[in-house]
Amino acid sequence: MQQNEQIIRTEYSEVMQKSYIDYAMSVIIARALPDVRDGLKPVQRRTLYDMHELGIRHDKPYRKCARIVGDTMGKYHPHGDSSIYEALVVMAQEFKKGLPLVDGHGNFGSIEGDGAAAMRYTEARLEKITQEAYLADLDKDVVDFVPNFDETEKEPSVLPVKVPNLLINGAEGIAVGMATSIPPHNFSEVIEGVKAYMKNPDITARELMEYIQGPDFPTGGIVVNKDELLNIYETGTGKIKIRGKVEIEQAKGGRQRLVITEIPYTMIGANIGKFLMDVGNLVETKKTGDIVDISNQSSKEGIRIVLDLKKGADVENLCNMLYKKTRLEDTFGVNMLAVADGRPETMGIVPVIKHHVNFQYELATRKYKTLLAKELDKKEIQEGLIQACDVIDLIIEILRGAKNIKDAKDCLMNGNTEKIKFRYQGSVADAKQLHFTERQATAILEMRLYKLIGLEIEALMKEHEATISNIAKYEEILGSRSAMTKVIVKELTKFQKEYGKPRKTQIENAAEAVYEEKKIEEMPVVLLMDRFGYAKTIDVSTYERNREAADSENKYVISCMNTDKLCIFTDKGQLHTVKILELPYGKFRDKGTPLDNVSKYDSSEENIIYINCMEDLRGKKLLFVNSQGMIKVVEGDEFDVSKRTTAATKLNDAETVLAIEQLAETEEETVVMQTEKNMFLRFPAADVPQKKKGAIGVRGMKIDTRDRLKAAFLLGDEEKTIEEKDKQIMLHRLRIACRDGKGVKK
């Protein structure tokens, strides 16, 4: 150990706490949340600034995204290329941003969730608005520059954005313990809101909403809870309900079709595919019979999802069902969280605009102070050159009589003639009167002779007048807040005229979507399932006509109601349920559908031990026997569950369910257990205790360690005979013993 090293002893929990807080704040401030002033996350800000530095302007050729990403990562954002490229792609996607900041060239993904091509294939450049409203004036000292991660470059701490980008483009981000979700808004409306605030800083959210109606999503759609928007914009949190736009078109044969032309913003990406699957599922589960076909005809021109309807379909009820059962109506959670004054803060719409406007005044103040300083410098030099033109002969004489620049400059600034040889003695007195400033003297010494041409002198005079005018203008702007306000408003109006677009999202109050499910006509059916697991239902009369064939060709034949559900018990101890309505109903010779397709039952991994309808299990009792000889009785009502799959019984490792039988609960009812070595034990069914479905049960038979349970039977008052090794064993003639015995050899 080196001598100058010190070991600092501290509480481990304190180190962990400090480290975690440091990490959390780093994620919040430096990665996940946007700044309220420019509405950009650090990765977005750095990418745009890097493109600006690389000179990738809107009127210049596109550059490979790989170059932009690599340059940004190497200079400003050392957090991996995927995060930078993803940010670049999102800033170029018109369906995600109200105002795209990057002009993408190539495959930048689609609204249906297709990802962008690899960065080596795509190209990009800045949009015109980005240059004019986001990156302009960086050379005028309007924002602070800070060192990059390795202190080899400088980067802006915030971009001089002149429009309220946080509201225009919105934001999404997940930090540690907090998340932001801000919807995009209409460009023109937000500019109008900013102007209204600048006229009246005491404006309320209600008054501001006369200009900003609500969110304006690039995908359009309809916001249906207009009355709740005020509270959302006052508090900065809430839920916006959005619906897709549905149009009704007439098709051939008097049929109609529903055409979805706009989707909720939250449906962007894979959720479009999920919507199509959900609609298909509604048809398959017979929730609706009005939809004949569904097709996605979306293209570059826009969204077009077509639902062909059958003749006489209830269109209004179907629309309401789509709103309720699919993502055609969805919720956008609003949490207007952004970094303000270096700390995360949830803000309503008025504070957001207030921070933006204050930032605009700060930008304007710094900009015009810089411009004024430059004009004052120009004025000083111009006045020196004009004055020099009046005494140009004297200046030429001084320059010719000086031995070096230092002596000439000293004479021009201080009138020191000691080291100057004058041609005319009278010039000495005039030279002593000279008192140019250092800048003026330098400009005179650097002046070229062609500047003495009459037209050049005239141009210098005009330039001087323009400089004086600019100085007066800049001083007026800096000296009067109202004058500065006019300048900011004028620039905002210019952007509004050039880049403003009509609103896409409608804002209204719509009634809650209510739809009436068509009442299913309850009727008795017969369920048929063959040995391959294909199941179907037929009406009772069809079964009666084909009873002999139905009974011989099918493994299970169960009479039930069409509103009932099928309970499938497997050897793995699982209970799978299927609504009878989910099974195909039709002709006797129809194939049916595999149970695997309509339930979570997997025929390749588990075998059916018992199957029945729920209605037949209510009020009844089931006998369970497992492969280890454990036995119990369970109430049938316990299996009336809402889950599609649940545990029907508890099993230990390597155990399986051997038999499940429904008890008749008569005095004559007995249980027979048979082992592989043909040990038989018969005892009354009443000796088996009743347990919950989650219990293992009690031992039914003592089985030798070298033997295993082979089968179990439930006997009533009927006779039952089995064949074992060419001999018949009549189970009903076995002596009745007690449960948990060893049994007899047969």
Residue type, position 497, single letter? K
**Cβ within 8 Å of residue 27, ≥6 positions away:** 175, 176
Torsion angle, alpha carbons of 320, 323, 328, 333, to 10: 150
Query: From CA 709, how far away is CA 611, in angstroms rounded?
Result: 22
The H or E element that residue 167 is part of is helix 165-168
**265 catalytic residue (yes or no):** no
Q: Which residues pair with 730 in a beta bridge?
A: 721
**Cβ within 8 Å of residue 288, ≥6 positions away:** 282, 318, 321, 518
Q: Helix or strand or coil: residue 20? A: helix
The H or E element that residue 126 is part of is strand 123-126
CB atoms within 10 A of CB 315: 15
| Structural contact between residues 575 and 646, judged by C-beta atoms closer than 8 angstroms | yes
Nearest to 470 by CA among 543, 368, 558, 587: 368
Burial 379-417 (b: 16+ CB within 10 A, else e): ebbbbbbeebbebeebbebbbebbeeeebbbbbbbebeb
Nearest to 31 by CA among 40, 98, 52, 143: 40
Query: From CA 165, how far away is CA 135, in angstroms rounded?
Result: 13
Nearest to 431 by CA among 476, 401, 470: 401
Query: From CA 189, how far away is CA 207, in angstroms rounded?
Result: 13
Angle between helices 392-401 and 349-390 (to 10 degrees): 80
Q: Which of 20, 121, 233, 543 is catalytic?
A: 121
Give backbone dihedrals phi and psi of 624, rounded to 5 degrees, phi first.
Answer: -110, 130
Query: From CA 31, how far away is CA 42, in angstroms rounded?
Result: 6
Q: Which residues pair with 294 in a beta bridge?
A: 307
Q: Is 341 left (phi over 0), alpha (psi -120 to 50) or beta?
A: left
**3-state secondary structure string across 236-278:** CEEEEEEECEEEEEECHHHCEEEEEEECCHHHCCHHHHHHHHH
What is the DSSP code string of 545-556? HTHHHHHHH-SE
Nearest to 595 by CA among 529, 543, 538, 527: 529
Question: What's the Cα-to-Cα distance from 358 to each of 66, 135, 361, rounded to whole Å?
Answer: 37, 18, 5
| Structural contact between residues 126 and 52, judged by C-beta atoms closer than 8 angstroms | yes
**Cβ within 8 Å of residue 363, ≥6 positions away:** 137, 142, 143, 160, 162
| Structural contact between residues 728 and 722, judged by C-beta atoms closer than 8 angstroms | yes
| Structural contact between residues 266 and 327, judged by C-beta atoms closer than 8 angstroms | yes
Query: From CA 487, how far away is CA 476, in angstroms rounded?
Result: 11
The H or E element that residue 223 is part of is strand 222-223
Question: What's the Cα-to-Cα distance from 551 to each of 109, 526, 531, rounded to whole Å?
Answer: 57, 11, 12
Kindly tell me the number of DSSP H helices and DSSP E strands found in the chain: 22, 35
Residues labelled catalytic: 121
